[in-house]
Homo-oligomer: A and B are copies of this chain.
Amino acid sequence: MILKSQVEWALHCCAILAGLPEGRYLSTKALAELHGLPKEYLSKALQSLSQASLVETTLGPSGGYRLAKTPSDINFLEIVEAVEGKARSFTCTNIRANNPCRPEGYCDSKPCAVARIMWEADEAWRDTLRRVRLSDLVGTLSEEVPADIWRRTFEWVLKRAG
């Protein structure tokens, strides 16, 4: 069970977009260069964010992406689910129904106890991600990333933002 690398990409891209001044857009090309990622494939991740209405886009030169909501209105789970999908990590194939001792046509009233526990754990994972806002991440990063790197990065970004 491993998350796709797109998750890391999407989260970092959102963190950058969160630092963009009101009304400006940043292109896939710039985001790919900044993170050293394949532009075409990163584009798929950004499209996922777009379909989830987390980012807005505009075409043409000076086009690109910007956040569709303020960073405090976006949480980690939204971003992760946008690229990873909303499906639960555990899928029950109902093997209990194969028990030869069950009467023909017997129908279970509840989901299997095993599945319920696995889903509870899945929900705990989602809850943790839901509680972290994009603005929290930006706050942590601005504290931890050395001030000169942080400043130069956003100068670099602004030079390319349309």
| B-binding residues in A (CB < 8 A) | 1-5, 7-9, 11-12, 15, 33-37, 76, 84, 87, 89-93, 95-103, 106, 110, 113-115, 117-118, 120-122, 124-129, 132, 137, 140-141, 144, 149, 152-153, 155-156
Contact = CB atoms under 8 A, between A and B. Distances in A.
B141 A113 contact: yes
Contacts of A87: 2
Contacts of A155: 101
B95 A144 contact: no
Q: Is the interface of A mostly helix, strand, loop or mixed?
A: helix
A76 B119 CA distance: 12
A160 to B, nearest CB: 11
A34 B96 CA distance: 8
A101 B117 CA distance: 46
Contacts of A101: 149, 152-153, 155-156
- Copies of this protein in the assembly total 2
A137 B114 contact: yes
Given A8-B114, A90-B7, A114-B11, A129 B121 contact: yes
Contacts of A126: 121
Given A96-B12, A121-B128, A125-B124, A91 B2 contact: yes
The winner among A11, A92, A121, A153 for most chain B CB atoms within 10 A is: A121
B90 A8 contact: yes
Given A35-B99, A101-B152, A101-B153, A1 B137 contact: no
A93 B35 CA distance: 11
